[in-house]
């Protein structure tokens, strides 16, 4: 069996991956807070852990892997939208409007991530469906002396776990207090203590609890849901490296203190962040956009995925338009090369080997380029599909086989020839505008006319031209 090597943040080393049980490989990845459309950076962990999920399924069998990714649907921004809608006259209770907003954004999320070729995880728990389990875990933490109630809040007592707290991110509690911007509250015993439960005002959704009507803190959600769905010990925990502290550190503290005989997660994987044209993505820089924005502009989801895979997950990745254009050209070429071909029975060993080396997706793509150059279309297709590329459902954008672009080019060429005589270029202009609107690049030279499909080419728009 293939040995997968993964870089484990916990040990800061690349290790052989050995699952607790090869017939039930378990992975938990922190999912989105569903208050709005996912921006491009949110999509990176989705694609990274989708590749890992596919690799695990390839090595251990599709039915032997359980992938859980949560939805955080307890959030002030969701509440704010629901409240605004209620004030604007929307019908329903605040709880119903909150649910409506979450349903809407979850639908968008699944659609957009599906467009990137991400498989849906086996379980997608929503925090609001696990409140009882969170309350039970918090009660248990209080009983074990790791948490305390104060002024309708419940806090995790970091001092009760002081020698371990900070191990994942490599900090000590004293350093954290010295350097951190921690929220000082009079009811905290230690400024690093974090919220497990907090009171809700009448304007916010809340649940009854032993500490009054309130709602859970963010960190306890993942501890409660991973325990419920994967048990006290599981194999892989993933997320963006911006979650390492405090979120993952707090998850470990909660889970290890609640279940001291469990290991919680054995392998911790963190992906690096995404930039746009060399700059951090931010609303103030004007380079902030969602996956939906790109799809609407006609950038195919498969192209986005390809660009992501070119950079190793532990390196910052830079989204550029140039990369997107190059990815599109490569995919178009590979799609033409593999059209009508059956994929090889299994992915080429070199592709699997690259992925098994701590998800070296760039190396795997290099192998695909090699297979394409060798003319081995069946192996190219099998290897690409292991990476979530060249699938049938993702390929509509590249479906140019049915369109005879050369006859359109001839038409434009003929129109230009008559316009030279008549000096009336209106037909030439009309055709050019129609081709550009369909997403074609129009190249006119003395030698002739060439029409090249560009980003967002839509063959349907050529009908009736």
Q: Does 134 bind Zn ion (CB under 5 A)?
A: no
Q: Does 30 bind Zn ion (CB under 5 A)?
A: yes
Q: Which is nearer to Zn ion, 115 or 222 (CB)?
A: 222
CB of 222 to Zn ion, least distance (A): 3
Q: Which is nearer to Zn ion, 241 or 311 (CB)?
A: 241
Q: Which is nearer to Zn ion, 31 or 300 (CB)?
A: 31
CB of 43 to Zn ion, least distance (A): 17
d(CA 6, CA 329): 31
Q: Which is nearer to Zn ion, 60 or 268 (CB)?
A: 268
User: Of 127, 141, 222, 462, which lies in the binding site for Zn ion, with binding defined by CB under 5 A?
Assistant: 222
CB of 5 to Zn ion, least distance (A): 24
Q: Which is nearer to Zn ion, 30 or 135 (CB)?
A: 30
d(CA 132, CA 95): 17
CB of 150 to Zn ion, least distance (A): 24
Residue that is written with structure tokens 């002081």 in the block = 162
Q: Which is nearer to Zn ion, 112 or 249 (CB)?
A: 249
Around Cβ 202, how many Cβ atoms within 10 Å? 7
- Residue 6: closest CA among 359, 362, 386, 363: 359
Q: Does 195 bind Zn ion (CB under 5 A)?
A: no
Point out which span in 25-33, 374-382, 401-409, 441-449 binds Zn ion (CB under 5 A). 25-33
CB of 28 to Zn ion, least distance (A): 8
Q: Does 449 bind Zn ion (CB under 5 A)?
A: no
Q: Does 78 bind Zn ion (CB under 5 A)?
A: no
CB of 247 to Zn ion, least distance (A): 6
| The dihedral sign for the CA sequence 177, 180, 185, 186 | positive
Q: Which is nearer to Zn ion, 78 or 398 (CB)?
A: 78
Point out which span in 91-99, 152-160, 165-173, 217-225 binds Zn ion (CB under 5 A). 217-225
Contact criterion met (CB below 8 Å) for 334 and 417: no
CB of 250 to Zn ion, least distance (A): 9
Q: Which is nearer to Zn ion, 127 or 348 (CB)?
A: 127
- Residues in the interface with Zn ion (CB under 5 A) total 2
CB of 26 to Zn ion, least distance (A): 15
Q: Does 382 bind Zn ion (CB under 5 A)?
A: no
CB of 299 to Zn ion, least distance (A): 29
Point out which span in 14-22, 23-31, 97-105, 286-294 binds Zn ion (CB under 5 A). 23-31
Q: Which is nearer to Zn ion, 60 or 109 (CB)?
A: 109
Q: Which residues bind Zn ion (CB under 5 A)?
A: 30, 222
């Amino acid at each position: 069996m293939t040995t997968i090597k993964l870089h484990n943040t916990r040990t800061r080393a690349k290790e052989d991956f050995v699952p607790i049980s090869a017939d039930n490989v378990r992975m938990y990845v922190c999912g989105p807070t569903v208050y709005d459309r996912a921006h491009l950076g949110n999509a990176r962990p989705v694609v990274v852990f989708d590749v890992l999920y596919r690799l695990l399924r390839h090595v251990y069998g599709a039915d032997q892997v359980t992938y859980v990714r949560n939805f955080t649907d307890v959030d002030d921004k969701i509440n704010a939208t629901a409240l605004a809608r209620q004030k604007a006259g929307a019908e329903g209770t605040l709880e119903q409007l909150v649910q409506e907003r979450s349903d809407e954004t979850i639908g968008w999320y699944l659609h957009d991530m599906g467009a990137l070729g991400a498989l849906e995880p086996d379980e997608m728990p929503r925090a609001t469906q696990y409140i009882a389990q969170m309350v039970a875990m918090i009660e248990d933490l209080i009983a074990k002396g790791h948490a305390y109630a104060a002024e309708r809040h419940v806090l995790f007592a970091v001092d009760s776990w002081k020698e371990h707290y900070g191990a994942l991110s490599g900090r000590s509690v004293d350093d954290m207090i010295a350097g951190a911007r921690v929220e000082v509250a009079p009811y905290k015993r230690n400024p690093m203590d974090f919220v497990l439960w907090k009171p809700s005002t009448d304007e916010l959704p809340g649940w009854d609890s032993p500490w009054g009507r309130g709602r859970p803190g963010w960190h306890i959600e993942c501890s409660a849901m991973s325990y419920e769905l994967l048990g006290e010990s599981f194999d892989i925990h993933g997320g963006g490296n911006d979650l390492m502290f405090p979120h993952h550190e707090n998850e470990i503290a909660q889970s290890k203190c609640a279940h001291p005989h469990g290991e919680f997660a054995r392998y911790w994987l963190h992906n690096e962040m995404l930039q746009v044209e060399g700059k951090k993505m931010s609303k103030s820089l004007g380079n902030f956009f969602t996956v939906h924005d790109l799809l609407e502009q006609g950038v195919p989801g498969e192209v986005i995925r390809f660009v992501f895979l070119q950079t190793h997950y532990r390196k910052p990745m830079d989204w550029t338009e140039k990369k997107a254009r190059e990815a599109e050209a490569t995919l178009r070429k590979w799609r033409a090369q593999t059209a009508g071909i059956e994929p090889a029975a299994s992915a080429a060993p070199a592709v699997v080997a690259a992925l098994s080396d701590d998800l070296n997706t760039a190396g795997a793509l290099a192998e695909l380029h090699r297979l394409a150059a060798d003319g081995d279309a069946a192996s190219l297709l099998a290897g690409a599909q292991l990476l979530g590329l060249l699938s049938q459902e993702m390929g509509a954008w590249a479906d140019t086989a049915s369109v005879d672009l050369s006859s359109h080019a001839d038409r434009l060429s003929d129109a230009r020839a008559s316009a030279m005589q008549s000096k009336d270029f209106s037909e030439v202009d009309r055709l050019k505008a129609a081709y550009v609107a369909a997403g074609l690049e129009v190249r006119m030279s003395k030698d002739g006319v060439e029409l090249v499909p560009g980003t967002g080419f839509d063959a349907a728009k050529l009908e009736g031209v």
